[in-house]
A and B are shown apart, each in its own frame.
Chain A
Amino acid sequence: MRGLESVLVLGNSWHSLLVACSLKKKIANLKVTLSYNELKTNGAVSVRRELSSLLSVLELTQESLLRLCDGTYFLAHHIVDESYGREFYWSVDDYGISDEVQDFHQLFERFLWPEARYDDFCVTAQLSKYGKVIDLQRHVSAAGAQKKEQNYSGLHLNIIPFTRLLLRYATYLGITVVNEVTAPCKEKNEAVKGEALDSAGARHTADFVIDASYIQEGISSEPNQDVHDWTHYFGNQYATRLFVANDFNPNPTSSLVFSSDSLVNAIPLRTGVAYEYLGNKIVLDKFLTQSPHSAAKKTLRQNTYGCLCRPWQGRKLALGLAAARPGNLLVSELDLLMQELALLIGLWPSVPFQPSLAQEYNRLATTLYCSVRDMHLLGYWLIQGGELSDLQSLPTELRKEVEVFIASSRLPHRDERYPAAAEWISLLMGLKKWPIHFPPLRLERADNEFPDFFQSILNKVREIVANAPQQVAHINDLLRSQNNHAER
């Protein structure tokens, strides 16, 4: 048994660059070869839950990354449901304060539903609503607890500078960047290294090959692989992306606007807004025809969803879009990729390869993909009315979870849940229209003490929001105060 000496990473976008950089950063003596031929994509990518991991890989501060990648802060999604006239700020942060006996959402349901807004009780949701950002150094949560060493916001990044940054960083780390591989890795046997030919005819060998390609066509295009096809859950979706340059958008909120026949995800950057449109073909064709932005026509594609049944086979592993498309609106591709990388590094292989290791990775990865898929399907289902009669269209596990939540106000345990259960609950609470049952347990406080309890939370949230700077001013200050030296 010996350690893995070399890895060949295949790809054409920030995905493969990030994979290569992460591996090289975590495993210093690993020879990483990156087969890369940049696919010119623009737009935005967001990172929220895994920002700390990303910053650790890049050895950057949040402010530096924001500055280098034309970024903005990302505090919450503003989910707008035009069909039902609802809107909600969805944050990964805490909503309210739990009683010793019941969680906050249960107290909310018990005492405040349906009059109050759930997102009034979340600091980052409220900051987002008012276009403000948090003082990252001295944030005090609504609970009054100091939360240090955490990132209270994510970032929206412009893909083009982000890709350039990663490419520079890859070179700095000593990653060998070669022409795009044209002949995929050929399996010989476990004793022989994997081989690949690049477009110039050069031969590259490595112990292990990671396919982190940006694949536009969707998961079902992967050859020689069994796939879990989830497209039917999402409906017949087409998508197009568009970047509209304009002035700095002051709102640190990406918005997800749903209407009866389309969905628009808008991510604000310093130099413009990146849009992603999803809908049926007729709607999008009409949109593209009428759109003054002709470039959008080029990117119209049919969205397919699913994941590889076995992303790790032998000496080859698929990551990112090459492995799964469980949706990217509520959990970004970047967050998911960082999760996959953490999983891989936690199960780092040796030579000869152990099938049980790949089996364990595949078990955990597909569970992760299913969880992310279900989070998206939950969002779609809620935004499309959240009719209980439509529950049957959801995957069984998700359907049962929703039923249990409505009947008991808690989510059943999953072995791998991503994002965390609190985020699922806040999405359910923010967009629900039906009452949920809650265990009628005796609380630590008397019922008549709760108005003051809730008011104290609201006051705390309002105080923090009132004292927070506007994002525009904050970023401008940041840019002015930082010197212009290249980070590296």
Chain B
Amino acid sequence: MFNELKKIIILGGGTAGWMTAAACAKFLPENYQVVLVESEQIGTVGVGEATIPHIRYFNNMLGIEERAFLSAVKATYKLGIQFIDWGSLGAAYIHPFGSHGYPVGSIDFHHYWLSAMASGVAPAFDQFSLAVVMAEKKRFAFPETNAINGKNAFSYAYHIDAGRYAKFLRKYAEERNVVRIEGRLSHVMTDATSGAISSLQMDSGATVEGDFFIDCSGFRAILLAEKLSVPFDDWSNWLLCDRAVAVPCERVEPPKPYTVAHAKPWGWQWRIPLQHRTGNGMVYSSSAITDEDALQNLLTNLDGYPLADPNFLKFTAGRRKKNWEKNCIAIGLSSGFLEPLESTSIYLIQQGILKFLEYFPGTGDLSTLRDAYNNEMETEYVRIRDFLILHYKITKRNDSEFWRYCQNMALPESLERSIELFRATGHVERYQNGLFMSPSWLAVYLGQGVGKVNFDTRVLNYPDAFVLGEMQKMREKLELQVQAMPMTNDVLEAELSATGINQQPVAASLYGVV
């Protein structure tokens, strides 16, 4: 049992910590005190330079104006992620923030595409996505809310400087009375009876007491794991990568409106274009390549001159078995880690915060809320996990031990069932909760190639010529629409120099507002 919470303590001031502090500052009444404890001596990981459209929803909730945000965090626009060499060497596709094609006669478009594919006459699947065509032509326009012309069938996100985002939110939070305490943590004190956290003892000798604690301490999970002993669910048998090295470099060309994830024999390399630099990193399995070789390979593949020393990270894929224990919630890396292949890190932080506010504990027994929160966060993690594993599983690559393992590894039962259903029927498993819905699964299944896939045979009722004609019309329409759009960089520069407010409609969806 707890009394009404009045003092929230956030441990850690990286992206997770300041996003949490900003949200608390915005939504908790003035009689609540929010304190963030951090030490400048401890670096932050700076997760999530690449984001997904949900960040716009989060910013909108906080009342952050887009132009101010773009300028403050050196953001560029993002329409999706390009995956190179994943399905097979030399192949590439884009997983867009949007859908592909449109239903004909109430049958989903991809069944027609699968039928055409079986006949050997299908153009690449991603060519039926407005967001993909825009990305490839480096053009950009804000999505429309009118569903009539199809220009609403996509969304957009940003590439951001995560360090600047944390600073931006720190200013936001401190302006709204969040108290920042600088210092290193010495001890965590717990209540002898309940086992709940009662205070943080600082190196300086100060004591920071609170009613509720939010662990944003990164991989260590000082409160949830080290103090409250919540165990870790290790998923590294499915997601082999356990290291990353990041090096920013000079920007050598106008920023492309997509993130690049380039598969390597030991993992993959990211490239994230910002206004002022390009973020680069290599994610790899330490059993497949040494740190030195991974760094060397990364440096060899940089677009421009390196701008900083390499930053090495060690991690284990997985999550804490509970994200909320007693009076403590872990948000960010302290709650779990999934490699940034689909730019989900900030999304998971965001979900942790929003669910915390939705279930914000009042007085009384918290176990009901705790269980509901933990269940919902588990669903988020597990479904993202399955989607990430899918990228490694459906590949024809066998050029390294890493990929041969991935091809042959046993899958979680949930993912095994999904893939089997898709191969046998062309249907994507349906669920209402979770980040990645049918358009995303289709993008990866069909972008990487999942082998022979059956389809809804009702499409056979339509003559091939009709189907191909419809497809051609769709592509021509997309081409014309995109041709009329300005170049991405022109839009960005215009926005950065514009005055006034440009508040685009937002939704908690990857695929558009309507």
Residues on A facing B (Cβ under 8 Å): 1-4, 26-29, 101, 345-348, 350, 354-357, 359-360, 364, 400, 403-404, 407-408, 410, 412-417, 437-442
Contact = CB atoms under 8 A, between A and B. Distances in A.
Given A346-B427, A350-B457, A408-B360, 20 more contacts: A3-B457, A27-B458, A347-B427, A354-B425, A356-B417, A357-B425, A360-B425, A360-B427, A404-B368, A407-B362, A407-B364, A407-B368, A437-B362, A439-B357, A439-B358, A439-B359, A439-B360, A440-B29, A441-B357, A441-B360
Nearest to B363: A437
B433 A413 contact: yes
A356 B364 contact: no
Contact of B420 (A4, A356, A440): A356
A413 B376 CA distance: 7
A439 B430 CA distance: 31
Contacts of B456: 348, 350
B379 A442 contact: no
Given A347-B425, A354-B424, A356-B421, A441 B27 contact: yes
A3 to B, nearest CB: 4
Contacts of A4: 457
Contacts of A28: 461
A407 B460 contact: no
Contacts, number: 105
A364 B457 contact: no
B432 A3 contact: no
10 contacts: A101-B27, A345-B106, A350-B456, A357-B424, A413-B433, A415-B431, A439-B362, A441-B28, A442-B26, A442-B27
Given A404-B368, A441-B28, A410 B358 contact: yes
Contacts of B362: 407-408, 437-440
Interface in B12-41: 26-30
Closest 7 CB pairs of A and B: A3-B457, A439-B360, A350-B457, A354-B424, A437-B362, A356-B424, A403-B368
Contacts of A356: 417, 420-421, 424-425
B420 A364 contact: no
A285 B399 CA distance: 78
Given A356-B424, A403-B368, A29 B29 contact: no
A408 B458 CA distance: 46
Interface string B275-295: 000000000000000000000
B409 interface: no
B369 interface: yes
Nearest to B429: A360
B371 interface: yes
Interface of B: 26-30, 106, 357-360, 362-365, 368-369, 371-372, 375-376, 379, 417, 420-421, 424-425, 427, 429-433, 454, 456-458, 460-461
Nearest to A404: B372
Contacts of B30: 442
Most A C-beta atoms less than 10 A away, residue of B29, B417, B425, B432:
B425
Contact of B369 (A1, A347, A407, A416): A407
B43 to A, nearest CB: 33
A442 B425 contact: no
A1 B27 contact: no
B433 A415 contact: yes
Contacts of A347: 425, 427
B429 to A, nearest CB: 7
Contact of B29 (A345, A413, A414, A441): A441
Contact of A415 (B360, B421, B425, B432): B432
Contacts of B460: 2-3
Contacts of A345: 106
A356 B454 CA distance: 12
Contacts of A348: 456-458
A108 to B, nearest CB: 17
A357 B376 contact: no
A1 B457 contact: yes
Nearest to B431: A415
A404 B366 CA distance: 10
Contact of A408 (B29, B358, B417, B457): B358
A414 B372 CA distance: 11
Nearest to B459: A3
Contacts of B375: 412
Nearest to A402: B368
Nearest to A28: B461
A268 B456 CA distance: 42
Nearest to A408: B359
B316 to A, nearest CB: 28
Given A3-B460, A347-B427, A354-B424, A400 B454 contact: no
A350 B28 contact: no
Contacts of A2: 457, 460
A413 B432 CA distance: 8
B266 to A, nearest CB: 34
Nearest to A2: B457
Contacts of B360: 408, 439-441
B482 to A, nearest CB: 30
A30 to B, nearest CB: 9
Given A357-B424, A360-B429, A412-B375, A442 B454 contact: no
Contacts of B363: 437
A3 B26 contact: no
A222 B375 CA distance: 35
Contacts of B357: 439, 441
A322 B95 CA distance: 43
B118 to A, nearest CB: 9
A400 B372 contact: yes
A348 B111 CA distance: 12
Contacts of A360: 421, 425, 427, 429-430
A324 B479 CA distance: 49
Contacts of B420: 356
Given A407-B369, A439-B359, A440-B29, A414 B106 contact: no
B78 to A, nearest CB: 26
B30 to A, nearest CB: 7
Contacts of B364: 407, 437
A12 B27 CA distance: 57
A290 B312 CA distance: 85
Given A348-B456, A403-B368, A407-B368, A364 B358 contact: no
Given A364-B430, A414-B432, A400 B368 contact: yes
A442 B358 contact: no
A354 B454 CA distance: 10
B373 to A, nearest CB: 9
A348 B363 CA distance: 50
A255 B425 CA distance: 44
A187 B371 CA distance: 46
Nearest to B434: A415
A138 to B, nearest CB: 22
A413 B369 CA distance: 13
Nearest to B376: A413
Contacts of A441: 27-29, 357, 360
A4 B457 CA distance: 8
Contact of B458 (A3, A357, A415, A439): A3
A338 to B, nearest CB: 14
B421 A357 contact: yes
A318 to B, nearest CB: 20
Given A1-B457, A347-B427, A437-B362, A404 B432 contact: no
B433 A442 contact: no
Contact of A442 (B29, B369, B372): B29
B422 to A, nearest CB: 9
A353 B363 CA distance: 54
Nearest to A416: B432
A159 to B, nearest CB: 29
A388 to B, nearest CB: 12
A346 B364 CA distance: 45
A101 B23 CA distance: 12
Contacts of B461: 3, 27-29
A113 B334 CA distance: 40
